[in-house]
Structure 1
Amino acid sequence: MTQWPNPLIEQRADPFILRYEDRYYFIASVPEYDRLELRCADTLVDLAAAQPVVVWRKPDVGPMSALIWAPEIHYIDGQWVIYFAAAPTREIKEGLFQHRMYALTCDDADPLSGNWQERGRIRTPIDSFSLDATTFHHQGKQWYLWAQKDPAIPGNSNLYLAELENPWTLKGKPVMLSRPEYEWECAGFSVNEGPAVIRHGNRLFVSYSASATDENYCLGLLWIDVDDDPMQPANWNKSARPVFSTSWENRQYGPGHNSFTVDEAGNDLLVYHARNYTEIEGDPLWDPNRHTRIKDIRWDANGMPDFGVPPADTLLNQRAVNSQ
């Protein structure tokens, strides 16, 4: 197992790392929730020192003028795509923020210097709180996977899947893959959000985050055989227990909102954020210290992922030693 710097990048929540043509592209929520930043480096470790480039800033007014959350960057059929969630204000209505999902595209070779075009809102059959979109290619189709509130279902958000007509337009009727049902999905808030997709062997896996964004935050797991129809919810399996959660021993609290990438040798890695303390004043969303972290994934003899335990801080510990 590789000993990665932990944290890898400070004060970057909801981290997403894409490896494309042997380079790494990093995007995440910034503490101010007001812009989209990209970084690029030849190695994962070099992302920490890579110069962030602002590719988009929120407007002062309008539906995308507040709380820019959880961006992801993808490369789909020769085009760069950034998905993100935004709200018209910071106001909470009926217990929820007012986020909807949006997309930007760029046709230039370099997404850091290219021209990004707003593609507007990604519309779903329900007009409600929605966020944390991701995409993946499977069975010859491009899929869109996200979290959304259904007013008819108790809780904050469920996970939905639909095929894409193009990167910013759904094709056909979505299906719900998961809703908060276990106690560990409903601590503080009933939440399924932040889905991420990885394939291994003959299975497709979806990790997701559950519960409130404090020390209760954790990862759940869905999986399906690669030949089965993903639009049939009955084909999906769901872990009855969290697969990655707080380590009190290692002082790693609320690990979640993950993505997946690979190291330079092609080995699978878990990308996630976590805090190293629990003493949070006010709403945890306004605490900036959810740091980006990475760790190896082990695959067991049955082809299932073993995410292990969030490792203790290394970089911050070293800084403390150096300052003494």
Structure 2
Amino acid sequence: MKVKARYIWLPAVSVLAIGVLLVLTMGKVGHKVSSHNDFYNVIMQDGADPWVYKHTDGFYYFTKTTGGNVTLWKSAQLTTIDAGQVKVINTGGSNIWAPELHYLNGAWYIYYAMDDGDNVNHRMHVMESTAADPLEGIWQYKGQITDPSDKWAIDGTVLQAGEELYFIWSGWEGDVNVRQNLYIAHMSNPWSIDSERVEIARPTYSWETNHSPYVNEGPQVIIHGNIISLVYSASGSWTDDYCLGLITADISADLLNPASWNKRSQPLFSSGNGLYGPGHHSFTKSPDGREDWIMYHVAKYSGAGWNREVRMQPFRWNADNTPAFGIPADPDLPLTLPSGEAEHQRYEGEEAAFGGAAYASSSPNGSGGMKAGHIDTPESYVEFSVNAEEAGQYILLARTANGTAGGGWSHLLLSVNSGASSHFNITNKGWENWGLSTARIQLNAGTNILRFTKGDGYGEIDFIDIKPAD
């Protein structure tokens, strides 16, 4: 069937106006924004052995293995720790592993493993600060913390049971790396041990002895009801088999008696939902104190070894007062924000303005099924129009991905309101394996323009979240 074409006459002025409108529309996009009370649970896109502590001042204090020092982060919110205030504390020595920050008897203490460049000489050490804020004041080295045996020791933590303090760590039985056992000793003060060490666990089950050397390490304690749950890491930390195990004791028991401790025969938390090797964790509370959260590291992808990232998720309690973690949360399903944490403003990548070669494309794992990418040439950009109620510092959290050939990090260049650009770093886990990139930015009251341009390598953006800084 033939259809007659219909023509509509428009005045020249009208045609010109439509053309101008189209040009303006292509050059600038009105960006949708929505309030969200959820997040995708990467907390840091790089790092291992996360330790987080919620102090009575309402702030979270965080540290992780950085290798050559102890670095502290301070944040009012759990999900913004990566962009928190930072203090670097020099320790001397080499191979600084798994630091922890504790507040005991009115002072701050950092416990960390350190050697002289030879792993055989790893021992636990402690520093003290009496400042109200651990990011302020002076840190004083208190010395090595050890029992009389003075054997290889890492991953030390403190258990406070009533008025008594105990030190728990991972160590060698002798002077050769055959296995790592868990030991406990009584403390006379936060920097001194006054008893012999007592072995309370060693690798025995198949899931603890599937790699050599055999490993029990990363002990962390949490008390619920009358039960002390000592959750530890087992198997090789360099493998996908790394997992968490559990030993328990009654709070009223003699904790220096090995018979007081009971080990569970099955792992408590292991690989799942496409996440591998969860381990070396810590515990904390939501901002309002109503929820319990576990923070842990995982391999960035299967077979990544010691290339790890930090995640967290809430957990509940079993009837016997032991923690129930389930499995690692699905990385492509959002979790509700920790209870008491403020919502953030979300801008989806596909709603941004694009220039050069950049454009939006489909994303199987993206929050809205789309992503912003192809920022492949110097003139390419992805631009967000962000509104701030008042001028001040804000935290930018972007769900990002990098699959640049060669496996290296990449960075985009981020500018705010046409200011100087800064590196916006993205770890390499492969395309569609989303992570988290963050920045502290200064915004004006009203509309602000955030522009991402080509840097080194390639990167994609699922969305950005904006929250006021601490």
Range of TM-score over shorter length: 0.7 to 0.9
1:177 aligns with 2:200: yes
Q: Which protein is bigger by CA-based radius of gyration?
A: 2
Is 1:296 the counterpart of 2:314? The answer is yes
Equivalent in 96, 104, 115 of residue 127 of structure 2: 104
Residue 319 in structure 1 maps to residue 354 in structure 2: no
1:90-101 mapped onto 2 (5 Å cutoff): 91=118, 97-101=120-124
Q: Deviations over 1:47-73 (max 9, x none)?
A: 12113211x2243xxxxx211100000
Of 39, 54, 68, 1:34 maps to 68
Aligned residue for 1:234, secondary structure, equals helix
Whether the 8 Å contact between 1:4 and 1:294 is mirrored in structure 2 is no
Deviations 1:159-198 (A, max 9, x none): 1111111111101222111011111111213111100000
Percent identity reads 35
Deviation at 1:9, TM superposition (A): 1.3
Are residues 1:305 and 2:323 paired?
yes
| Residue 300 of structure 1, CA deviation | 2.2
Aligned residue type for 1:57: N
For the residue of structure 2 that corresponds to 1:128, the secondary structure is coil
Backbone CA RMSD of aligned residues = 2.1
2:60 maps to which of 24, 30, 51: 24
Question: Are 2:280 and 1:257 equivalent residues in the alignment?
Answer: yes
Measured after TM superposition, the shift of residue 119 of structure 1 is 1.1
Q: Distance in 2 between matches of 1:221 and 1:233?
A: 15
C-alpha deviation, 1:6, in angstroms = 2.0
1:52 counterpart = 2:98: no
Q: How does 1:275-294 map to 2 (within 5 A)?
A: 275-280=299-304, 284-285=305-306, 287=307, 290-294=308-312
Corresponding residue for residue 164 of structure 1: 187
Deviations for 1:93-143, whole angstroms, at most 9, x for unmatched residues? xxxx43110001001111101100111111223232210000021032011
For residue 323 of structure 1, give the secondary structure of its aligned residue in structure 2. Answer: strand
CA contact (8 A) 1:155 1:180 kept: no
1:13 to 40, 44, 48: 48
Shift in CA distance, 154/34, structure 1 to aligned 2, threshold 3 Å: closer
User: Partner residue of 2:267?
Assistant: 242
Query: Deviations for 1:211-268, whole angstroms, at most 9, x for unmatched residues?
Result: 1012111100011111211111112111101000111xx2211100011111113221
| 1:78 and 2:111 matched | no
Supply the AA of the counterpart residue of 2:250: D
Range with bigger deviation, 166-175 or 80-89: 166-175
Structure 1 length normalisation: TM-score?
0.87
Structure 1: tracts of 5 or more residues without a match:
60-64
Is the Cα contact below 8 Å between 2:155 and 2:170 reproduced in 1? yes
Instruction: Give the secondary structure class of the aligned counterpart of 1:39.
Output: strand
Structure 2 residue matching 1:196: 3-state secondary structure: strand
Q: Which amino acid is the alignment partner of residue 60 of structure 2?
A: Y
Could you list the per-position Cα deviations for residues 270-300 of structure 1 after superposition, in whole angstroms to 9, with x for gaps in the alignment? 11110131234xxx34x3xx11111111112
Structure 2 distance, partners of 1:133, 1:233, is: 18
Structure 1, 238-247 or 265-274: larger mean CA deviation: 265-274
Cα distance change on mapping 1:163 and 1:313 into 2, 3 Å: same
Aligned equivalents of 1:20, 1:58: Cα separation in 2: 23
- Map of 1:125-144 to 2, 5 A cutoff? 125-144=148-167
Give the 3 Å change call, closer, same or farther, for CA 205–279 of structure 1 in structure 2.
Answer: closer
> Which one has more relative contact order, counting CA pairs under 8 Å at least 6 apart?
1
How many matched pairs?
302
Q: Residues 5 and 45 of structure 1 are in contact (CA less than 8 Å); yes or no, is this contact kept in structure 2?
A: no
How much does 1:25 deviate? Answer: 0.4
Change (3 A) 1:119 1:178: same
1: CA distance, partners of 2:156 / 2:167: 7
CA contact (8 A) 2:294 2:313 kept: yes
